[in-house]
Amino acid sequence: MSINNQPAVVCEQVSKIFRQGSSQVMGLDQVDILVKAGDSICLSGPSGSGKTTLLNAIGGLAKPDSGTITIGEHTLSSMSDSERAHLRLHQIGFVFQSYNLVPVLSALENVAFIMEMQGRPKQEIDTLAHAILNRVGLEGLYDRKPGQLSGGQQQRVAVARAIVSNPTLVLADEPTANLDSQTAIQLMELFQTLNQESGTTFIIATHDTRVNQFTNRQIVMQDGRIESDNRA
Amino acid sequence: MIARLAWRNLWRNKERSLLMITAVAIAVCAMLFMVAMTRGFMQGILDSGIHNLPGHIQAHANRYLDDPSIDHRFTLTSASLQNVLTNANIEHWSQRVKVPAVVQSEYASQGVTLLGIEPEREPQDPRLGYKIVAGKNLSSDSAGILIGERLAEKLETELGKRIVLMTQSAEGGLAERGYRIVGIYQTTFAAREEGEVYLALEQSQTLLGVDDQISELAIFTSDDSDLERLQTELQTKLGSYIDVLRWDQIDEYLGASMKTMSGFVFIIVAVVFLTLSFALVNTLIMAIFERTPEIGLLLALGLRPKAVVLALTLESMVMIGLGLILGNVLAQFILLGFKDGVDLSSVAEGLAMAGASPYLSAQLRLSDWLTTNVLVLILGLLTSWWPARRAARLDPIEALQKT
Ligand SMILES: Nc1ncnc2c1ncn2[C@@H]1O[C@H](COP(=O)(O)OP(=O)(O)OP(=O)(O)O)[C@@H](O)[C@H]1O
Ligand SMILES: [Mg+2]
C-alpha cells in the first residue's frame, strides 16, 4: 500500500468534558487534527493533558460531547455500537495504557484471539501469531500466560496483538513504558518499518522522548488542546 | 476460542466453580429424589387402590355403579371375551361377582361385600400386606369361604367353622347358604378385612343363581399411560349396555389426588431450583465483577457484545451441565437403593389410612427425569444469560480502568 492523500483520521472541533460533581475537566478542548494515511504521530504532553482521551475518542470508545471524528470514510457519531465494534476489530490495532491481555489465554492465544474473531483461517493465524511474537522478541514464550511474563514482555504481547493483523490504524498508549531502552528502540523500529512498508498509520501517545525520532509528525497536547503540531 | 475462554475461566476459581457444580448437583439430586419419592408414594396409593381389586379399567352392566346389586349383571361369551381381551396392553383380566351380603355366625351378623373371584387370576398383592394367617387361600374349586381376621373376631368365629351368607338372588328372593371358613386373611386395610368376604366365582354364581353371569370385568394393563385409548377400544367392542370406566373415573377422589400430586411434584422442582438460581446469579455476578477489566478489554478490541454474552453464558452452562450430570448420577445411585422399596410396615396404619401401600418405593418416570433436566437447563440458561448480558453492556473504557 502506498501513502496517498486520503485522510486516515479527521477530528473536527472535538470536545470532551468530564464532570465530577460540580467541577468540570476539559478532557478534550476543540481538537482539530487531520491525520493522513501513512502518518506516524508521536502524541506527547504532560500527564492529564488528554492523550488517552483523544485515543479513546478516535477508537470510538468514548463519545465526544461535541465535534465529529471520521475514520477513513466512517463518521463515528453516525455509527451504531456494533458498527464501531466491527471497525475496531477489523481496522484498528490497540495498545492500552492500563490493561491489555486476557489472563487465562497464553501469549500466543492473546495474539491469535483477535484474528479468530476476524474470521481468518486457522493456518494463517498460527503462522502470523508465531511470526509476530518472534518479531517482538518473544520466541519460545508462546505458551506463557500473562501472569508468567514480565511487564515489558506483556507490553510486547500487546503490541504484537495490535499489529498482527495489519490494521490500517494503530492507536498505542504508552507502548514503550516498562521497556528498557534497547527493547524500546527495537519496538519503535518495528513500528517504523510497518509504517514505511505497509503504510500503516500510527498514533503513539507517550512520555518517552525517544519516540519522536521514529515518527514523522509530533503533536503536543496541553489541557485538552493541541499545543503544537509539527512534521519532521 | 470463545469456548476455550469459557473453559479456562471456569477453572480460574476452582473452589467457586466446584462449589457451584456441587450445589447444582445436590439440588438436582434432591429434586429427582423428591420427585421419585412422591411418585413412589403416589404409585403406592394407586397400587393399593387398583390392586385392592378394582383394576385399571372395569366393565359393568349399566347402572351397576349406582346400585351394585345382582340385578345389574352381564355375560361375556367366550368368543366375545377372546375378541375383547386380545390386546397387547392387557396384562391380565378377571371376572367378578360383587354384591352386598350379610354374614351370620352363632353370635353376630355383619353387612359385607361378597366377592366371587377367580382366585388364580387375582393374586392378592403381598405388598399390600395381604397374607393368609389361617387355613389357605381360595382356589377355583374351593367350596368354602375366605374372610378377614377382623371379621372373624367380630363374628367370634374361627377357621373351620361355618357361617351363613345371605344375599338377594337373581330372582329377587333371598339366597342363603352356609359355608365353611377355609381361610382367614390379613391386610393393612382395616375396612377391607372387616367388609370383604371371598368365594370362588362358581360358588357365588350358584348361590345367586346366575349361571356364568358376572358383575364386573376387571382389566389390568402393563402400561397405564394410555388408558383412554384402551378404554375406547373396549367400550366399542363390548357395546353400549356395558359401561367401561377407568380407575380414575371409578374412584374420582383417587384420580383427582393423583392429578394434584403430579402438579405438586413440579412445584417442588421449581421452588428448589429458584432457590438455587439466586445462588447461581449471585456467584456469576461476583465472577463477572472480578473480571470487569478483561471484559472491557474484549469489548474495546471490538469483540461483539453477543460473543461476550456467549462466552460467559457458556461458562456457567458448562458449570450447570456438569452439576446436572453429577446430580443425575448421584440420584440414580440413591434411587437404586430405594428400588425395592422401603418397608414402612411399622407406620403402615397411618399410611393405610391415607390409602397407601406399606411399601414406599422410589419411582422415576422418564418424563419426570426429562422435565426436571429441561427445567434446570432452561432456568440455568436464564440465570446465566442475565448477568452475562449485563456484563456485555459495560462501557469498555470504564471497565478497562477498574484495575
Ligand atoms: N473517566 C474520567 N472521569 C473524569 N475525569 C477524567 C476521566 N478520564 C480522564 N479524565 C481527566 O481528563 C484529563 C485527561 O486525561 P487523560 O487520561 O486523557 O490524560 P493523559 O494525557 O492520557 O495522561 P497520562 O499521560 O497520565 O496518561 C485528566 O485531567 C483526567 O483527570
Ligand atoms: Mg494516558
Question: What string of DSSP letters covers B70-135?
Answer: TTS-B---HHHHHHHH--TTEEEEEEEEEEEEEEE-SS-EEEEEEEEE-GGG----GGGT-EEEEE
Cα atoms in the Cβ-side hemisphere of radius 13 Å centred on A202 = 36
Distance A119 CA to ligand 2 centre (A): 31
Length of chain B: 403
Question: Residue by residue, what is the 3-state secondary structure of chain A?
Answer: CCCCCCEEEEEEEEEEEEEECCEEEEEEEEEEEEEECCCEEEEECCCCCCHHHHHHHHCCCCCCCEEEEEECCEEHHHCCHHHHHHHHHHHEEEECCCCCCCCCCCHHHHHHHHHHHHCCCHHHHHHHHHHHHHHCCCCCCCCCCHHHCCHHHHHHHHHHHHHCCCCCEEEEECCCCCCCHHHHHHHHHHHHHHHHHHCCEEEEECCCCCHHHHCCEEEEEECCEEEEEEEC
The count of other CB atoms within 10 Å of the CB of residue B317 is: 18
CA-based end-to-end distance of chain B = 24
User: How far, CA to CA in Å, does B350 sit from each of B38, B131, B345?
Assistant: 17, 19, 10
Q: Would the pLDDT of A66 be above 50?
A: yes
In the predicted model, what is the mean pLDDT of residues B142-158?
Answer: 90
Query: Closest residue of B to A80, CA-based?
Result: B304
Cβ of B302 within 8 Å of Cβ of A92? The answer is yes
User: How far, CA to CA in Å, does A75 sit from each of A6, A67, A71, A72, B166?
Assistant: 14, 11, 6, 8, 103
Pick the most confident of A7-21, B82-96, B124-138.
Answer: A7-21
B156-160, B227-231, B322-326, B344-348: the lowest-pLDDT one: B344-348
Residues of A in contact with B403 (CB under 8 A): 98-99
Residues of B in contact with A103 (CB under 8 A): 12, 294
Q: Would the pLDDT of B255 be above 80?
A: no
Q: What is the pLDDT of residues A81-109, one digit of tens each?
A: 889 999 999 999 999 988 889 999 999 99
Please state the atom number of ligand 1 nearest to the C-alpha of residue A55: 18
Candidates A103, A112, A114; nearest CB to B301: A114
Dist. CA A116–CA A109, nearest whole Å: 10
Tell me the angle at which helices B292-301 and A81-91 cross, rounded to the nearest 10 degrees.
80
In the predicted model, what is the mean pLDDT of residues B317-328?
Answer: 91
- Is residue A38 within 8 A of residue A15, CB to CB? The reply is no
For residue B214, the 8-state DSSP code is B
- Is residue A31 within 8 A of residue A43, CB to CB? The reply is no
- Is residue A191 within 8 A of residue A214, CB to CB? The reply is yes
Do the domain assignments include residue A1? no
Report pLDDT for A220: 96
Dist. CA A64–CA A207, nearest whole Å: 24
Cβ of B305 within 8 Å of Cβ of A85? The answer is yes
Dist. CA B95–CA B200, nearest whole Å: 11
Interface test with B, best of A20, A71, A76, A102 (most B CBs within 10 A): A102
Interface test with B, best of A81, A86, A99 (most B CBs within 10 A): A99
Q: Does A112 touch chain B (CB under 8 A)?
A: yes
Averaged confidence pLDDT in chain B: 82
Which amino acid residue places its CA nearest to atom 14 of ligand 1? A50
B115 vs B91, more confident: B115
| β-pairing verdict for A74-75 and A23-36 | unpaired
Q: Would the pLDDT of B14 be above 80?
A: yes
How far is the alpha carbon of B390 from chain A, nearest alpha carbon, in Å? 15
- Is residue B362 within 8 A of residue B37, CB to CB? The reply is yes
pTM for this one?
Answer: 0.70
Cβ within 8 Å of residue B344, ≥6 positions away: B351, B358, B359, B360
B177 vs B93, more confident: B177
Report pLDDT for A3: 46
Report pLDDT for B126: 59
Q: Does A162 touch chain B (CB under 8 A)?
A: no
Q: Would the pLDDT of B350 be above 70?
A: no
Report pLDDT for A76: 94
Do the domain assignments include residue A27? no
Residues of A in contact with B315 (CB under 8 A): none
Which amino acid residue places its CA nearest to atom 12 of ligand 1? A27
Do the domain assignments include residue A96? yes
Cβ within 8 Å of residue A25, ≥6 positions away: A17, A18, A19, A224
Cβ within 8 Å of residue B56, ≥6 positions away: B50, B219, B220, B221, B224, B227, B246, B247
Q: Does B133 touch chain A (CB under 8 A)?
A: no
Cβ within 8 Å of residue B160, ≥6 positions away: B135, B180, B181
Query: Closest residue of A to B12, CA-based?
Result: A104
B401 vs A141, more confident: A141
Distance A54 CA to ligand 1 centre (A): 10
Ligand 1 binding pocket, CB closer than 6 Å: A 18, 20, 25, 27, 45, 47-53, 97
Do the domain assignments include residue A94? yes
Dist. CA A210–CA A176, nearest whole Å: 10
Dist. CA B403–CA B396, nearest whole Å: 13
Dist. CA B32–CA B44, nearest whole Å: 18
B86-90, B158-162, B232-236: the lowest-pLDDT one: B86-90
Q: Is A157 exposed, middle or buried (0-12, 13-18, 19+ CB in 10 A)?
A: buried
State percent of chain B over pLDDT 90: 15
Report pLDDT for B343: 56
How far is the alpha carbon of B299 from chain A, nearest alpha carbon, in Å? 7
State percent of chain B over pLDDT 70: 87
Q: Which of A112, A118, A48, A42 shows the shortest CA–CA distance to A85?
A: A118
Candidates B304, B305, B396; nearest CB to A61: B396
Report pLDDT for B128: 57
B351 vs A41, more confident: A41
Q: What is the pLDDT of residues B196-243, one digit of tens each?
A: 899 998 889 998 888 888 888 888 887 767 788 888 888 888 778 888
Cβ of A100 within 8 Å of Cβ of B297? The answer is yes
Length of chain A: 232
Q: Would the pLDDT of A123 be above 80?
A: yes
Dist. CA A179–CA A185, nearest whole Å: 9
Domain of residue A100, CATH code: 3.40.50.300
Evaluate the CA torsion angle B54, B59, B64, B65 in order and state its sign.
Answer: positive
- Is residue B396 within 8 A of residue B383, CB to CB? The reply is no
Q: Would the pLDDT of B253 be above 80?
A: no
How far is the alpha carbon of A9 from chain B, nearest alpha carbon, in Å? 18
Q: Does A62 touch chain B (CB under 8 A)?
A: yes
Query: Closest residue of A to B394, CA-based?
Result: A61
Dist. CA A78–CA A194, nearest whole Å: 31
Q: How many domains does chain A have?
A: 1
pLDDT band of residue B248 (cuts 50, 70, 90) is confident
| β-pairing verdict for B109-117 and A201-205 | unpaired
**What domain range includes position A146?**
38-63+79-231
Q: Is A140 exposed, middle or buried (0-12, 13-18, 19+ CB in 10 A)?
A: exposed
pLDDT band of residue B246 (cuts 50, 70, 90) is confident
Do the domain assignments include residue A121? yes
- Is residue B196 within 8 A of residue B112, CB to CB? The reply is yes
Candidates B1, B293, B397; nearest CB to A116: B1
How far is the alpha carbon of A229 from chain B, nearest alpha carbon, in Å? 27
A45 vs B127, more confident: A45
Q: What is the pLDDT of residues A193-216, one digit of tens each?
A: 989 988 999 999 999 988 989 999
Report pLDDT for A2: 44
In the predicted model, what is the mean pLDDT of residues B11-27?
Answer: 88
Q: Does A17 touch chain B (CB under 8 A)?
A: no
pLDDT band of residue B353 (cuts 50, 70, 90) is very low
Which amino acid residue places its CA nearest to atom 28 of ligand 1? A48
pLDDT band of residue B127 (cuts 50, 70, 90) is low
User: How far, CA to CA in Å, does B283 sit from each of A182, B19, B296?
Assistant: 46, 10, 20
Cβ of B297 within 8 Å of Cβ of A102? The answer is yes
Radius of gyration of chain A (CA): 17
Chains A and B: how many Cβ contacts under 8 Å?
Answer: 67
Interface test with A, best of B297, B394, B395 (most A CBs within 10 A): B297
Dist. CA B19–CA B308, nearest whole Å: 24
In the predicted model, what is the mean pLDDT of residues A32-61?
Answer: 94
| β-pairing verdict for A217-222 and A201-205 | unpaired
- For residue B12, the SS3 value is coil
Q: Which of A15, A22, A25, A209 to mutate to test the pocket of ligand 1 (most atoms within 8 A of CB)?
A: A25
Dist. CA A158–CA A96, nearest whole Å: 8
Distance B238 CA to ligand 2 centre (A): 91
Q: Which of B261, B265, B333, B354 shows the shortest CA–CA distance to B34?
A: B265
Cα torsion at A68, A71, A75, A81 (round to 10°)? -110
State percent of chain A over pLDDT 70: 98
pLDDT band of residue A1 (cuts 50, 70, 90) is very low
Report pLDDT for B275: 85
Dist. CA B71–CA B76, nearest whole Å: 16
User: How far, CA to CA in Å, does B49 sit from each of A136, B42, B107, B355?
Assistant: 81, 10, 33, 7
Residues of A in contact with B299 (CB under 8 A): 85
Report pLDDT for B323: 92
**φ/ψ (deg, to 5) at B3:** -65, -40
B48 vs B282, more confident: B282
Report pLDDT for A168: 94
Do the domain assignments include residue A177? yes
Q: Is A64 exposed, middle or buried (0-12, 13-18, 19+ CB in 10 A)?
A: buried
Strand partners, B166: B102, B176
B147 vs B85, more confident: B147
